[in-house]
Amino acid sequence: MNVETLPGESEAADVLERALRSGLDPEAGPARSVANVPAGQILLMPAAVPGYAGVKVATVAPGNRGLPRIQGIYLLLDGETLTPVALLDGVALTSVRTPAVSAVAARHLAAPDASSLVVFGTGPQAWGHVRALRAVRPLDQITVVGRSGTEEFVARCREAGLRASAGTPDAVATADVIACCTTAREPLFPGALVPAHAVVIAVGSHEPTAREVDGNLVERSQVFVESRAAALREAGDLIIPGATRAPYNLAELVTGRAPLTEDRPRLFKSVGMAWEDLVVAVAAYERTGV
């Protein structure tokens, strides 16, 4: 299937939310399998929903000599016969579904008038998050914090009609929404700076030994995750500081079963899950009318 058949981030967010509202249980999916190999890792992410099954095979090669760090394919299967019906670009799929999941969370966690975003990172996920979060909240001021490509990213935001500028980590002190879209293994900013009204979305890592936010923020925040089981296996942001409060999962958030507090930040930690890939892949496949 062509990349053009993938839904945009906003449409993908709608598809994901409908799946959760229809009873999809993010706690029930198979765990991600990780095989360590000399060049990095091979990830295997299978899932099933009514009518379909699928699996993403992704590779992570940190020292890839000019090639993409992450590559992959997605195989979509008929749910009854397990006959392959489509093959999708796994990186393109991930580039849509990850910000779409964040957009679902932001719809329920960010203030309706949230207008300022601090984004850490300048890669495809950072840009996807600018697009996706802008679709669900009236964001018009973007502060970009990056190690490279920052001015180019700022220019891209301005071309999209946004007020944008390069900034430093202390910009989180005045942000409404903070998106962490990096490969960092250590916290990106002091959590104590984050205001009580802000929402922090951290998507950069699925490893228990890496994190983008510090223990201060985790302790201060009301925490939400895609799945408690997945977060406790993979979310270094929560595992490293020894988070003690059980987070709410995404299904509880979108169905109103997670009470929201107003006096502390809200943190959504995403590790990426196979059901998300499958739901978006099905939407892409069904768009083709095959």
Are 130 and 44 members of one domain? Answer: no
* Neighbouring-strand partners of residue 40: 37
Q: With a cut of 90, say whether residue 246 has pLDDT above it.
A: no
Give the pLDDT confidence score for residue 33 in this predicted structure: 94
- % of the chain with per-residue pLDDT over 90: 88
For 229, other C-beta atoms within 10 Å of its C-beta total 16
Domain count, the chain: 2
CATH of residue 234 = 3.40.50.720
* pTM tops 0.85: yes
Are 124 and 218 members of one domain? Answer: yes
Are 118 and 257 members of one domain? Answer: yes
What mean pLDDT is reported for the chain? 94
* Neighbouring-strand partners of residue 118: 143, 178
Are 112 and 248 members of one domain? Answer: yes
Q: What is the dihedral of CA 280, 281, 285, 287, to 10 degrees?
A: 20
Provide the H-helix boundaries in the chain.
9-21, 90-109, 124-136, 150-159, 215-220, 228-234, 236-239, 250-254, 274-287
Are 158 and 40 members of one domain? Answer: no
Are 15 and 134 members of one domain? Answer: no
Are 242 and 252 members of one domain? Answer: yes
Cβ atoms of 84 and 100 closer than 8 Å: no
Give the pLDDT confidence score for residue 243 in this predicted structure: 85
Are 143 and 239 members of one domain? Answer: yes
Cβ atoms of 240 and 217 closer than 8 Å: no
Are 241 and 280 members of one domain? Answer: no
Domain that holds residue 15: 3-93+275-287
Are 54 and 119 members of one domain? Answer: no
> What is the per-residue pLDDT across 67-113, written as a single tens digit (0 to 9) for each?
888 899 999 999 999 999 999 999 999 999 999 999 999 999 999 99
> What is the per-residue pLDDT across 188-229, written as a single tens digit (0 to 9) for each?
999 999 999 999 999 998 899 999 999 999 999 999 999 999
